[in-house]
A and B are shown apart, each in its own frame.
Chain A
Amino acid sequence: MEQRLANTWRMTVNEKKFIESALVSGLRVDGRNLYDYRKLSINFGKEDGSAEVHLGQTRVMGIATSQLVQPYRDRPNEGTLSIFTEFSPMADPSFEPGRPGEFAVELGRVIDRGLRESRAVDTESLCVLAGKLVWAIRIDLHILDNGGNLVDAANVAALAALSTFRRPECSLGGENGQEVIVHPPEAREPLPLIIHHLPIAVTFAFFSDESTLVVDPTHQEEAVMAGRMTATLNTNGDICAIQKAGGEGVPQSVIMHCLRIAATKAADITVKIRDTVEAYNTERALQKIKRHSAPVALDVSGTVPNVRKNQVKSEDQREVSGSVGTQVEKLKPMNERKNSDQSNDIEETSKFSKKQKESQSKKSTQQASPKGSAEEMKAISPATESAKIASQTHGEKTLKDAVKPKHKRKKKAPSAVDGS
């Protein structure tokens, strides 16, 4: 709409008229219904707190990070949440590098209002030392591709990043209990943020024909539209924020109608976000589960390994981690096996480590660090025959196997001691 630079893409009159007349008949250029959203997909990155959202052609990446800062004077026991937007010039020819322009600021503030003012994130739990140190959560939103409706996509990216973000655990220590010790993720499991509700932004575009409005406008529709409104609401029916600045004047009844539509859309998107975050969390939890030495499905065929972060119990396991490649089996998470299989695993890996030291070294991308709970690191190189042999001897694992190793432990304890 307000593109004032010489190198701006301008829409031809024909295209404009085509879109407008199609809308009068209730048709959208990409075949959607007036109130339909484009396909929304959320992908998570390797690190906690990074998400990439695809809404049709629009792509936005959201990253959440945290830092310990001094709190604001008027809120000494609350953490802070701030949103920064970056309109990358690769997303659209009209985005200029450098300082954020008006739209970048507006987008940031709309999302900020929806998240902060509605108290979606519990900021009081972010306080470490009242009046002195609090966690400041920073969300960076990078626009990668502008296919229209950046606000909604960026909002989903911010929510996805916040839902999967983990902040390091910290405790008070030192002489007078005033020193803050931040525990690294390897020492203590980082904590998720407390999110009360998910405010979803739904954008509407109004056109010169008063009764026409569409949800989730594409880039072309945005160039034609006469006004826009973004309503941020959650599934509880609370309206967190509404932004309608300028453009075509619309009657109040239309606004109320829009809010009703937005409520249904928000419910759909919330479900989608929750499901994707749930799947991510399950996978993350799977990664943390201790591996049994002889897994059910051992990938020795050299297929793509899944890097697992696990805890190292004994020295020789650390050596294993250092020198060996990363091939990890997938196991069903069975917490009961953790403790019973410990010694068995120590013994197994000691066998492997000796063999693997002899064999060629693989690239080791595994991170191993000591941890308090019962978790071990498994690293089995794809080329070792010994691994195959070992796995074949154990075969299928069931709950009963969790009980069995007790005997083995008693027999082989001496050898395990030797190994370590």
Chain B
Amino acid sequence: MEYVSPEGLRIDGRRPMEMRKLQAEIGVVAKADGSAVFEMGNTKVIAAVYGPREVQNRSQQLNDQALVRCEYSMANFSTGDRMRKPKGDRRSTEISLVIRQTMEACILTQLMPRSQIDIYVQVLQADGGTRSACINAATLALADAGIPMRDFVTSCSAGYLNSTPLLG
């Protein structure tokens, strides 16, 4: 199957180094301290941030920095076939870990000791690149929540097919 046509166009008409259409919106979840919806093409992800707030589990409290927790889950309806277990499976655990470590590196946790920052990311539509969309959404949600960060953390996925690098 020709993924990149001889004219240099991909299946959806993009060039190899062209990203999909990006759309974002913040303040979508009223109850959360910060929230954002991020869309990359057909991949749609919603992130909500709660914090800094008191640590719920005292044993996990860190005295010199904030505790960052992250939960990644995919909605049952996000993929073509209904998903059996949206969270708790190994892939979700790993992606939660990856997002948490990424955001933890950029949040100025030293400014908020003995507190907890929760990032919840939910995939509404999965069309590839959910991990990147989640990190972008998390950045926006954290900014919306007013949590001090070193800088924006952005992410993009890329692939390599038939010796051609493809973006997005």
Residues of A within 8 A of B (CB): 4-6, 102, 105-106, 108-109, 227, 245-249
B100 interfacial contact with A, CB 8 Å = yes
> In the complex the two chains form, is A248's CB within 8 Å of B60's CB?
no
Taking the nearest CB of chain B, how far is it from the CB of A226, in angstroms?
9
Given A102-B96, A109-B94, 8 new contacts (CB under 8 A):
A4-B60, A6-B59, A102-B94, A105-B90, A105-B93, A109-B91, A245-B101, A246-B98
B9 interfacial contact with A, CB 8 Å = no
- Tally of contact residues, B, Cβ under 8 A: 17
- The CB with the most chain B CB atoms within 10 A, among A108, A109, A245, is that of A245
B111 interfacial contact with A, CB 8 Å = no
> In the complex the two chains form, is B90's CB within 8 Å of A108's CB?
yes
In the complex, what distance in Å separates the CA atom of A249 from the CA atom of B150? Answer: 12
> In the complex the two chains form, is A109's CB within 8 Å of B90's CB?
yes
B137 neighbours in A (Cβ, 8 Å): none
Q: Tell me the nearest residue of chain B to A107, going by C-beta.
A: B94
Taking the nearest CB of chain A, how far is it from the CB of B97, in angstroms?
5
B110 interfacial contact with A, CB 8 Å = no
Cross-chain pairs A/B with CB under 8 angstroms, 10 sampled: A4-B59, A4-B62, A5-B59, A109-B90, A109-B91, A245-B98, A245-B101, A246-B98, A247-B101, A248-B105
In the complex, what distance in Å separates the CA atom of A124 from the CA atom of B101? Answer: 37
B102 interfacial contact with A, CB 8 Å = yes
Known: A4-B62, A6-B59. A247 touches B105 (CB 8 A): yes
Say what secondary structure dominates the interface of chain A: loop
Which of A4, A6, A106, A245 makes the CB contact (< 8 A) with B102?
A: A245
> In the complex the two chains form, is A245's CB within 8 Å of B60's CB?
no
> In the complex the two chains form, is A246's CB within 8 Å of B105's CB?
yes
> In the complex the two chains form, is B59's CB within 8 Å of A105's CB?
no
B98 neighbours in A (Cβ, 8 Å): 245-246
Which of A5, A106, A227, A247 makes the CB contact (< 8 A) with B94?
A: A106
Taking the nearest CB of chain A, how far is it from the CB of B39, in angstroms?
24
Q: Would you give the 0/1 interface string for B66-95, flagging 1 where the beta carbon is closer than 8 Å to chain A?
A: 010000000000000000000000110110
Known: A4-B67, A109-B90. A245 touches B59 (CB 8 A): no
B33 interfacial contact with A, CB 8 Å = no
In the complex, what distance in Å separates the CA atom of A110 from the CA atom of B94? Answer: 9
In the complex, what distance in Å separates the CA atom of A248 from the CA atom of B106? Answer: 9
Which of B60, B62, B94, B100 makes the CB contact (< 8 A) with A246?
A: B100
Interface residues of B in 95-127 (CB under 8 A from A): 96-98, 100-105
A4 neighbours in B (Cβ, 8 Å): 59-60, 62, 67
Say what secondary structure dominates the interface of chain B: helix
Taking the nearest CB of chain A, how far is it from the CB of B126, in angstroms?
15
> In the complex the two chains form, is B90's CB within 8 Å of A249's CB?
no
Q: Tell me the nearest residue of chain A to B150, going by C-beta.
A: A249
Known: A4-B67, A6-B59. A105 touches B94 (CB 8 A): yes
In the complex, what distance in Å separates the CA atom of A227 from the CA atom of B94? Answer: 17
Known: A105-B90, A105-B94. A246 touches B59 (CB 8 A): no
Known: A4-B62, A5-B59, A6-B59. A105 touches B105 (CB 8 A): no
Taking the nearest CB of chain B, how far is it from the CB of A117, in angstroms?
12
Taking the nearest CB of chain B, how far is it from the CB of A311, in angstroms?
43
A247 neighbours in B (Cβ, 8 Å): 101, 105
Q: Tell me the nearest residue of chain B to A248, going by C-beta.
A: B105
B101 neighbours in A (Cβ, 8 Å): 245-247
Taking the nearest CB of chain B, how far is it from the CB of A230, in angstroms?
13
In the complex, what distance in Å separates the CA atom of A374 from the CA atom of B5? Answer: 59
In the complex, what distance in Å separates the CA atom of A102 from the CA atom of B67? Answer: 15
B102 neighbours in A (Cβ, 8 Å): 245-246
Taking the nearest CB of chain A, how far is it from the CB of B88, in angstroms?
9
In the complex, what distance in Å separates the CA atom of A76 from the CA atom of B112? Answer: 52
A109 neighbours in B (Cβ, 8 Å): 90-91, 94
> In the complex the two chains form, is A102's CB within 8 Å of B60's CB?
no
Q: Tell me the nearest residue of chain B to A103, going by C-beta.
A: B97
> In the complex the two chains form, is A102's CB within 8 Å of B105's CB?
no
- The CB with the most chain A CB atoms within 10 A, among B59, B62, B67, B103, is that of B59
Q: Tell me the nearest residue of chain B to A6, going by C-beta.
A: B59
B96 neighbours in A (Cβ, 8 Å): 102
Q: Tell me the nearest residue of chain A to B58, going by C-beta.
A: A6
In the complex, what distance in Å separates the CA atom of A45 from the CA atom of B93? Answer: 32
Taking the nearest CB of chain B, how far is it from the CB of A37, in angstroms?
25
Taking the nearest CB of chain A, how far is it from the CB of B111, in angstroms?
18
Which of B60, B67, B97, B100 makes the CB contact (< 8 A) with A105?
A: B97
> In the complex the two chains form, is B97's CB within 8 Å of A106's CB?
yes
B60 neighbours in A (Cβ, 8 Å): 4-5
Taking the nearest CB of chain B, how far is it from the CB of A18, in angstroms?
20
Taking the nearest CB of chain A, how far is it from the CB of B87, in angstroms?
12
B90 neighbours in A (Cβ, 8 Å): 105, 108-109
Q: Tell me the nearest residue of chain B to A85, going by C-beta.
A: B90
